[in-house]
């Protein structure tokens, strides 16, 4: 199935003591961590492609440019959305955003590249030989 602009995906998490800035070492406060926001946005992009990729294919993240706009406290949910904007060969560019129950908490862009899973893992494993 062709990969075309307009595909969307989302991912949801709840802020817990495990994904706060304090727990992840990215700050000294108990609010949703920027690294956790980045991972959630990447997950939304991955989810956009789940049903589209051919067997034996996956994508790997190669660029992420985000702004963390507002803090989210423990107990609230955060939902990330990804919309595929451009397809340039194997390179896919997404617009990503995230919201808690009150406001938009993140925005940015994310690029992924389609790879053959077996070949990718074989080349990666060769680094430790």
Q: Which of 20, 42, 81, 110 is catalytic?
A: 42
Backbone angles phi, psi at 58, to 5 degrees: -150, 180
- pLDDT, tens digit, for every residue of 76-126? 999 999 999 999 999 999 999 999 999 999 999 999 999 999 999 999 999
CATH architecture of the domain with residue range 8-128: Roll (3.10)
CA angle 65, 101, 97 (to 5 degrees): 20
- pLDDT, tens digit, for every residue of 35-68? 999 999 999 999 999 999 999 999 999 999 999 9
Tell me the domain boundaries of the chain: 8-128
Give the separation between CA 67 and CA 118, rounded to whole angstroms: 34
Q: Which of 8, 34, 93, 117 is catalytic?
A: 34
């Amino acid at each position: 199935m062709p990969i075309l602009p307009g595909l969307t995906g989302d991912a949801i998490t709840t802020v817990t003591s495990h994904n706060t800035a304090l727990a992840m070492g990215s700050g000294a406060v108990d609010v949703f961590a920027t690294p956790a926001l980045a991972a959630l946005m990447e997950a939304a992009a991955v989810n956009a492609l789940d049903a589209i990729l051919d067997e034996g294919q996956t994508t790997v993240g190669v660029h992420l440019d985000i702004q963390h706009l507002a803090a989210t406290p423990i107990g609230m949910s955060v939902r990330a959305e990804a919309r595929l904007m451009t397809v340039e060969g194997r390179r896919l560019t997404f617009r990503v955003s995230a919201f808690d129950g009150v406001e938009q908490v993140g925005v940015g862009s994310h690029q992924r590249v389609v790879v053959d899973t077996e070949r990718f893992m074989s080349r990666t494993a060769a680094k430790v030989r």
